[in-house]
């Protein structure tokens, strides 16, 4: 080995223990700083996914409405025995809007939405889309949702002859499997405000679907 090669070997500099410690420290600081932002990104991603799932539910419900309008003479939503019968515990649109929407006056919040958590007692008025005991996406522990094992309305002579329990009709709309909320405490629920009238004065039913992670923030409304 020549003198030049020996000198080059001696001149090579490695990272000292102090430099390594500083680098690791900087990496740790960067990681800790990034955690809140990564958490926010993760929650934002879940929110967008849940909104997309709600959109899928609404589109299938709209198709169901059109199909029943052709087959039964009047359109209805899953779970309705007839277009002028409700699904869930509320009887008016305003009652449901009280659950879902904040009220502001002069830019200040005066009446916050009632239904903003999975364990809220207001969940008693809402029905699970795919069932509280669904194998793939059961309702979260400690969540409050209306029971849905049987059809709430007694059969009538002008109602569809088949079973109209909501979860069964929703399942038929998604043959590849039910949709589940990406949130740990999420679950999809819905209500239908009954339609009314006939002919040119008829009013179609209104469908409300929400994610119980925070229904006041994650919901969709559909009225054909």
pLDDT tens digits, 171-188: 999 999 999 999 999 999
CA distance 112 to 191: 20
Q: Do the bridges between strand 219-222 and strand 108-111 make them parallel or antiparallel, or are there none, so unpaired?
A: unpaired
Res. 162 pLDDT band, cuts 50 70 90:
low
Res. 43 pLDDT band, cuts 50 70 90:
confident
Q: What is the pLDDT of residue 2?
A: 54
Q: In the predicted model, what is the mean pLDDT of residues 106-132?
A: 92
Q: What is the pLDDT of residue 140?
A: 93
Residues across the chain: 224
* HSE toward the beta carbon, residue 88, CA cutoff 13 A: 30
Q: Give the burial string for 25-55 (b: 16+ CB within 10 Å, else e).
A: eeeeeeeeeeeeeeeeeeeeebbeebeebbe
CA distance 134 to 106: 44
Residue 104 parent element (H or E): strand 103-105
CA distance 163 to 193: 20
- Mean pLDDT check: name the lowest of 42-46, 108-112, 163-167, 195-199: 163-167
Selection from 188, 211, 214 nearest residue 114 by Cα? 214
- Mean pLDDT check: name the lowest of 25-29, 53-57, 87-91: 25-29
Residue bearing the bigger pLDDT, 189 or 156: 189
Q: What is the pLDDT of residue 52?
A: 94
| Residue 154 in this model has a pLDDT that exceeds 90 | no
| Residue 195 in this model has a pLDDT that exceeds 70 | yes
CA distance 98 to 119: 17
Q: What is the pLDDT of residue 202?
A: 87
Q: Supply 105's token pair.
A: 């006056």
Q: What is the pLDDT of residue 149?
A: 54
Q: Tokens 């090669």 correspond to what residue?
A: 5
Q: What is the pTM of this model?
A: 0.77
Q: What is the pLDDT of residue 97?
A: 94
Q: What is the pLDDT of residue 182?
A: 95
């Amino acid at each position: 080995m020549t003198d030049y090669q020996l000198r080059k070997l001696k001149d090579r500099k490695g990272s000292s223990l102090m430099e390594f410690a500083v680098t690791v420290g900087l990496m740790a600081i960067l990681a800790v700083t990034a955690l809140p932002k990564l958490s926010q990104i993760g929650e934002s991603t879940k929110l967008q996914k849940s909104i997309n799932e709600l959109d899928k539910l609404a589109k299938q419900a709209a198709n169901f409405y059109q199909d029943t309008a052709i087959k039964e003479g009047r359109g209805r939503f899953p779970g309705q025995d007839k277009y002028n019968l409700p699904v869930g515990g509320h009887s008016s649109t305003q009652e449901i809007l009280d659950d879902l929407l904040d009220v502001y006056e002069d830019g200040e919040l005066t009446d916050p939405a009632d239904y903003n958590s999975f364990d809220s007692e207001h969940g008693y008025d809402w029905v699970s889309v795919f069932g509280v005991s669904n194998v793939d996406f059961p309702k979260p522990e400690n969540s409050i949702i209306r029971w849905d094992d049987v059809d709430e309305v007694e059969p009538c002579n002008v109602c569809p002859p088949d079973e109209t329990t909501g979860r069964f009709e929703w399942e038929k709309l998604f043959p590849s499997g039910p949709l589940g909320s990406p949130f740990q405490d999420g679950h999809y629920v819905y209500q239908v405000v009954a339609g009314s009238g006939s002919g040119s004065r008829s009013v179609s039913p209104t469908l409300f679907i929400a994610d119980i992670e925070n229904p006041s923030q994650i919901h969709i409304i559909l009225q054909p």
